[in-house]
Amino acid sequence: MKKIVALTVNDKRYELAVAPNETLADVLRDKIGLTGTKKGCELGDCGSCTVLLNGKPVNACLVLAIRAEGETVRTIEGLESASGLHPLQQAFVEKGGIQCGFCSPGMILSSFSLLERDPDPGEDEIRRAISGNLCRCTGYQKIIESVQAAAKTGRAKHADP
């Protein structure tokens, strides 16, 4: 039996019919069309499906869509603005943190959440923040450098998202 659920995703409201067992990852990808949320292990181990739920990183493969009713969801698509990539996304491009790109949405959103809490984190804090995200390319150093570069610009936070 499907239920109508109201979700706010990237500042846009959606009302969708969802089954009780549908995950937030499935709804974001298949019903809303936001394919930046990747489906990897679907067990909560890899972090490729990381989104921000009320500003906190969560594995969207472990969150039932009905649990997100009335909550605020931000996906990787929600960081970009009319003026272009978010400074953190741009730093990932410039510093080579994107590599194959599969882990990038989760890495970036986990890093974004960190920078919201601590605009000048040290390497240990960055490592802890991304510890729930696995990089298939094992390019963690470039990812860390990307987050550090975004933090150094002082533009890691901006008004758009």
Q: Which domains does the chain have, with CATH numbers?
A: 3-76 (3.10.20.30), 87-153 (1.10.150.120)
pLDDT of 159 strictly over 90: no
Q: Which residue has the tokens 């990089």?
A: 135
pLDDT tier for residue 138 given thresholds of 50, 70 and 90: confident
How far is 89 from 5, CA to CA, in rounded Å?
30
Q: Picking from 24-28, 62-66, 76-80, 81-85, which range would have the lowest pLDDT averaged per residue?
A: 81-85
pLDDT of 5 strictly over 50: yes
CA 28 to chain centre: 12
- Annotate the chain with DSSP letters as a single string: --EEEEEEETTEEEEEEE-TT-BHHHIIIIII--TTS--SSSSSSS-TTEEEETTEEEETTTSBGGGGTT-EEE-GGGT-BTTBS-HHHHHHHHHT--TTSSSHHHHHHHHHHHHHH-SS--HHHHHHHTTT---TT--HHHHHHHHHHHHHHT-SS-S--
Residue 153 pLDDT: 86
pLDDT of 152 strictly over 60: yes
pLDDT of 45 strictly over 70: yes
User: Could you read off the pLDDT of 92-108 as tens digits, one per residue?
Assistant: 999 999 999 999 999 99
Q: Are 64 and 21 in contact (CB under 8 A)?
A: yes
